[in-house]
A and B are shown apart, each in its own frame.
Chain A
Amino acid sequence: MNKYAKKMLELSNDITKYELSPTQLVEFQLGLVREALEYFANANDLIKKEIENLGIDPKTAKTEDILLLARSSDEFRGQPSGKYGIAGLARILCRNTTEGGKVFRSSGTGGKGPVLIYRSPEALEIGVINAMGYMRYITGIDLKGALVLSMIPKEATEFMAIGGFGIKGYEYFGAQIVYGMEVNPDIDPKEVPVIWHRLRPVERKIGQFLASPAKTKILFTGNAGLHGMLQNPNLKMYLGENGYVVIGGGAKGNPAFKTSNLRKLMKGRILVNGETAPLYDVLGLTESINILPTQANGEVLIPPPTMVYTILDMDTDMPMELVEGAEGEWVYFNPQTPDFPEVIRTGDQMKLVKVEGIPWTDFGLKHIQRITTQGEQIFGCG
């Protein structure tokens, strides 16, 4: 494992980062950015050239300089090809990690080609700890002995970030996984290429979860999945003494799948200690090694302390002053990915909102909408 990856792995395990004050965070992030610039410049010639072209000196760089390297996730879309089975990411891949690894892909429900991201064995290890380590911090719930009902099929752990980091993360921290969904082998993948459209529930497994006496029971699903479950009028689910519901994937444009609606539908039906279970909405990106969860029943996403981010003015593309109410395109850098500079223009319009109870920051992000990127103009004539 290279020195940088090793350090990032240590950082993932280091829970003191959650105790940093906003002032300490500034120094902490600056150090991470300079180290990352140095590492990536040495690991990939194109990145090195780009850093030079932008006039950045890794030794004296400012924190926000790294965000100039941001790429739109659309750049990573395409059909799998080459040794690593990726598309646009190949150009900025740093090949100084261990052989092996996996390629994660986006769900493909957006109609465009999937985002394809290579994860080295190092990145997989870091990601597992990052994602669920952070979830453990936000929820305050220990995962040892917990039982997780995953409505994402086991197959997804091989090629989707939500499985490879999320489900694997729960396992890493000692939870047991029950898969409540499976891929229907009777449907031809050639006819129905999107895996989500080929799933079927495994009632025996769901029943096993419902009947379990475990103290911590976690329901892990998508917005659409939770909505589907709640359509059953007889559904009553007990998540033990300190379980919770965690959802992700967004409403996909369907108002019924909105988190606020799901919270209403859950009332009195999914319970923890006789109360409605807490709901955590999580934003996870295929291209990210980290997640942004809300606080319990919250709507504001909390960026982890390792994440450097800004909000871009949508007219001028200039970074905005990060004050309450700032709204624009969210761009972030996550130093913990050793395979490529994870600096992403997300295409998500976010608004900066005040939050409480988070030591390292006073702000979180409220998701406003996806910025349309589908505007198609074809060659005409005249």
Chain B
Amino acid sequence: MKKVLPREKTQTTLDEIISIMQNTQKKRQALSQIPLERKLEVINELGKLWSSPDYSRRKLLIEFCAEQTGYSKEMVKMELSFVPIMLNPESLLNHFNQLPGGPKSIDRNIWVNKGECFRNLPKGNIFVVGAGNSFAPHLLTTLISLLTNNFVILRPSQSNCIALEEFKESFTELESEYSSTARIMSEAFEVVYTGHDSPAFDYLLKEAEINVFNFWGGKRALDAILEKINVRSALDRPSFVINGPMVGMAVIQEGSDNLETIARGLAYDIALFDQKLCSSPVEAQFVGSEEVFYQFAQLVGETLEIFRFTLPQRELDSATIRNTHIARKTLQRSGAKVIMPKDHAADWTVIASEKNPNLDVAVEAIGKTPHGTYLFNAHARPRLIEIVRVDSIDEALNAVRNLNIRRQYKDVMRVQSLGYSVKNSLEFIKKTSEIGVFRSLPIGEMNARTLLEPMDGINLAIEFTRTHYSRRSSKVVKSVLVPQRLEDNVQFS
């Protein structure tokens, strides 16, 4: 008989939350007794567990998450393969290099220069609220939080709750030499599930001792949550780390690479997590001739057709299917070239447009929900991309810069990832660093992050700590600060 995870996450009650919050200081203290290096050793051990395809929790989660989220097993398998990568100590340590005083400043004072020192202390309690798609971001937040000696309360979507609880449970399965450290670490984070209007959720937002509020999700949820947090007095308000909502875009230049390679890369970036990631491209700009442009659009379609079977997407509901058909018809009427599967299924669509995007008209035509959200918004579209042919890189980058001026993208914070395939990448990157995107990456790897990469413009280790600074004598001030001004204006007794 197939073994399935036996439980569904029940709502955490107000009493349970209050009880969790009463013990956070004790747990943080215990955590801060463990050196950073030791914690990384435990994480390394966890990485070994999760890297085995035979690890029972990993196997169970593939079944469970596919069932709960609707993503295909292939997709969930791929996500779980990221877990051991995230549990890489070397990668994690990179987040600490930018701290004043470096990684060691987490454990003790680090003396620099002539008699000055830094120590990075935890901010306290971190409350993470996250929506939907992938639990990887929560994992990173949790790991950085533990390494910076914070206590973290995670409130993910219901399906991700179970995945994160399984992760928490895996701490108990380490060899005995790691077990006591692992226990302290696992006790420093709690996975809770609360409804949007529950007293428990209200308490966390309005009253509980929360020092950092970390949000992953959409604008509507964020607006509602901020309204609740805002009842706090100014000094009682946590600091905010807001991630999302964001999207990806792509710029392709004719002649930069083999056309098939670029098409395959773009199609992969679209297919990954059914185009629901902040890095997923929602529109591409093609700089080149008309003839090659249509050839390219066709190739993207052909590759999406392959992914339809090798990396299947979640089952489409009738509203999504109908909206896709309405969009295609609207676009055809607008004069755009619409490429779709031969059997006309709604699984993927490539729109090839000249000069200006046409999709906005279709999105408007399909309309909004009573809440004012576009029904056919970027994350509601099943593997659908509009490729717009333009004449220059600058024109393409202008489109990237102006994406969230367009009404259908008004709920998008900004373009997170810009995938590219261009002839002169150095010149290109020089320009993209100035147009407001967080990341510029080669097409085909828009979702991938290296060891060095920061988290969308911020460094979580910095966000989760406060730096304490000390110096030993006033001689330091004299030698380090601008001497002339000091001599002129300050009288030392």
Whether A associates with B in a native complex is yes
Q: Answer whether residue A372 sits at the interface, using C-beta atoms and an 8 A cutoff.
A: yes
Residues in chain B near residue A345, CB distance under 8 A:
326
- A54 in the interface (beta carbon within 8 A): yes
- Interface stretch, picked from B127-135, B228-236, B293-301, is B127-135
Give the residue name and chain of the B residue nearest to A49 (CB). Answer: B335
Nearest B residue to A312 by beta-carbon distance? B325
The residues of A that contact B375 with a CB separation of less than 8 Å are: 74, 373-376
Given contacts A68-B329, A88-B365, contact A381 B217 (CB under 8 A): yes
- For the complex, give the distance between the alpha carbons of A347 and B366 in Å: 12
Q: Which of B132, B244, B332, B365 contacts A75 (CB 8 A)?
A: B365
Q: Tell me what chain A mostly uses at the interface: helix, strand, loop, or mixed.
A: loop
A6 vs chain B, min Cβ distance (A): 28
Contact across chains for B365 and A382 when beta carbons are under 8 A apart:
no
Please, how many angstroms separate the alpha-carbon atoms of A201 and B53 in the complex?
Answer: 70
Instruction: Tell yes or no: A356 within 8 A of B by CB.
Output: no
In the complex, chain A residues whose CB is within 8 Å of the CB of B245: 379-381
**B370:A317 contact, CB within 8 angstroms:** no
Q: Is the CB of B344 within 8 A of A318?
A: yes
B484 to chain A, nearest CB (A): 50
A194 to chain B, nearest CB (A): 13
Contacts of A379 in B (CB 8 A): 217-219, 244-245, 377-379, 411-412
Asked whether any CB of chain A lies closer than 8 Å to the CB of B15, the reply is: no
> In whole angstroms, how far apart are the Cα atoms of A299 and B325 in the complex?
29
**Least distance between A329 CB and chain B CB atoms (Å):** 7
Taken residue by residue from 130 to 150, chain B's Cβ proximity to chain A (1 for < 8 Å, 0 otherwise) reads as 111110110000000000000
Mark each residue of chain A from 362 to 382: 1 if its CB lies under 8 Å from any CB of chain B, else 0. Answer: 000000000111111111111
B181 within 8 A of A: no
A376 close to B371 (CB less than 8 A): yes
- Inter-chain contacts of A16 with B (CB < 8 A): none
A382 and B136 contact, Cβ closer than 8 Å, known pairs A53-B335, A317-B344: yes
Give the distance in Å from the alpha carbon of A246 to the alpha carbon of B330 in the complex. 36
Interface: B221 (CB within 8 A): yes
Taking a contact as CB atoms under 8 Å apart, the answer to whether B343 and A381 are in contact is no
Closest A residue by C-beta to B244: A381
Residues of B within 8 A of A347 (CB): 322
The verdict on A315 contacting chain B, using a C-beta distance below 8 Å, is: yes
Pick from A74, A316, A377, A382: contact of B377, CB below 8 A: A377
User: Do residues A74 and B367 form an inter-chain contact, with CB atoms below 8 A?
Assistant: yes
A72 engages B326 (CB within 8 Å): yes
Contact of B273 (CB < 8 Å), options: A72, A377, A382: A382
In chain B, what residue has the closest Cβ to A110? B370
Are B335 and A372 in contact, with the CB atoms below 8 A? no
Nearest B residue to A71, CB-CB: B365
Q: Which one of B137, B329, B345 contacts A381 once the chains associate, using CB atoms below 8 Å?
A: B137
For B402, what are the chain A residues with a Cβ–Cβ distance below 8 Å? Answer: none
Stretch with Cβ within 8 A of A (4 or more), from B59-67, B313-321, B429-437: B313-321
Cα distance A112–B217 in the bound complex, in angstroms: 24
A48 to B276, CA, bound (A): 37
Q: Shortest Cβ distance from A332 into chain B, in angstroms?
A: 15
Check A314 for interface membership: any CB of B closer than 8 A: yes
Residue A168, interface by CB 8 Å: no
Query: A314, A329, A378: which has the most chain B beta carbons within 10 Å?
Result: A378
State the Cβ distance, A337 to closest chain B Cβ, in Å.
19
Contact A375 B333 (CB under 8 A): no
Q: Does B470 contact A (CB under 8 A)?
A: no
Contact between B317 and A372 (Cβ–Cβ < 8 Å)? yes
Whole-angstrom distance between the Cβ of B367 and the nearest chain A Cβ: 4
* CB–CB A317/B318 < 8 A: no
Which interface residue of A71, A315, A345, A379 has the most chain B CB atoms within 10 A? A379
Residue B466 interfacial (CB < 8 Å)? no
Given contacts A316-B345, A375-B320, contact A380 B218 (CB under 8 A): yes
In the assembled complex, A296 has its CB within 8 A of some CB on chain B: no
Contact A382 B137 (CB under 8 A): yes
CB distance from A65 to the nearest CB of B (A): 12
In angstroms, Cα B322 to Cα A375, docked, is 10
- Interface pair B221/A381, CB less than 8 Å apart: no
Q: Classify the secondary structure of B's interface with A.
A: mixed
Instruction: From B216, B317, B369, give the contact of A382 (CB < 8 A).
Output: B216
Contact B333 A50 (CB under 8 A): yes
Find out whether the CB atom of A375 lies under 8 angstroms from the CB atom of B317: yes
Task: Check B219–A375 contact: CB distance below 8 A.
Answer: no
- Is there an interface contact between B319 and A374, defined as CB atoms closer than 8 Å? yes
A177 within 8 A of B: no
A14 to B186, CA, bound (A): 82
B329 interface neighbour in A112, A316, A317, Cβ under 8 Å: A317
Bound together, the chains give a CA A318 to CA B137 distance in angstroms of 41
Question: Which residues on the A side are within 8 Å of B246 (C-beta)?
Answer: 381
Q: How far is the CA of A314 from the CA of B318 in the complex (A)?
A: 8
When distances are taken between beta carbons in the complex, the residues of chain B under 8 Å from A373 are 319, 322-323, 375
Q: In the complex, what residues of B have CB within 8 A of residue A314's CB?
A: 318, 321-322
Q: Which residues of B contact A382 (CB under 8 A)?
A: 132-134, 136-137, 216, 273, 276-278
The answer, yes or no, to whether A70 is at the interface (CB within 8 Å) is: yes
Contact, CB under 8 Å: B373 / A378? yes
* Residue picked from B366, B369, B411, most chain A C-beta under 10 Å: B369
Question: A316 contacts B343, CB within 8 Å?
Answer: yes
Q: Looking across the interface, which residue of chain B has its beta carbon closest to that of A329?
A: B322
Cα distance A373–B374 when bound, in Å? 12
Which A residue's beta carbon lies closest to that of B331? A53
Q: B220 at interface (Cβ–Cβ under 8 A)? A: yes
The distance from the CB of B75 to the nearest CB of chain A, in whole angstroms, is 12
Q: Do B276 and A378 touch across chains, with their CB atoms under 8 A apart?
A: no
Contact B370 A111 (CB under 8 A): yes
Per the bound structure, the CA–CA distance linking A68 and B317 in Å amounts to 24
Residue interface mask B249-288, A partner, CB < 8 A = 1: 0000000000000000000000001001110000000000
Taking CB atoms and an 8 Å cut-off, the chain A residues in 53-92 that contact chain B are 53-54, 68-72, 74-75, 77, 88
Contact status A381-B317, CB under 8 Å: no
For A53, what are the chain B residues with a Cβ–Cβ distance below 8 Å?
A: 332-335
**Residues in B320-372 with C-beta less than 8 Å from chain A:** 320-323, 325-326, 328-330, 332-335, 343-346, 364-371
> B residues within 8 A CB of A71?
330, 365
Nearest CB of chain B from residue A58's CB, rounded to whole Å = 15
Q: What distance in Å separates the Cβ of B483 from its nearest Cβ neighbour in chain A?
A: 49
CB distance from A125 to the nearest CB of B (A): 30
Complex partner residue of B131 from A111, A316, A381, CB under 8 angstroms: A381
A50 smallest CB distance to B (angstroms)? 4
Q: Which of A54, A75, A372 has the most CB of B within 10 A?
A: A75
* Closest residue of B by beta carbon distance from A50: B333
CB atoms of A72 and B335 under 8 A apart: no
Say whether B243 faces chain A, with CB atoms less than 8 Å apart: yes
Q: How far is the CA of A345 from the CA of B362 in the complex (A)?
A: 14
A to B CB contacts below 8 Å, 16 in the list: A50-B334, A54-B332, A69-B333, A316-B344, A318-B344, A347-B322, A376-B371, A376-B373, A377-B320, A378-B221, A378-B411, A380-B217, A381-B132, A381-B246, A381-B278, A382-B277
New contact pairs (19) apart from A113-B368, A382-B216, CB-CB < 8 Å: A54-B332, A68-B332, A74-B375, A315-B344, A318-B344, A371-B322, A375-B319, A375-B375, A376-B369, A378-B379, A378-B411, A379-B377, A380-B131, A380-B245, A381-B130, A381-B133, A381-B137, A381-B216, A381-B277
Identify the 3 closest CB pairs spanning chains A and B, nearest first: A375-B319, A381-B244, A379-B245
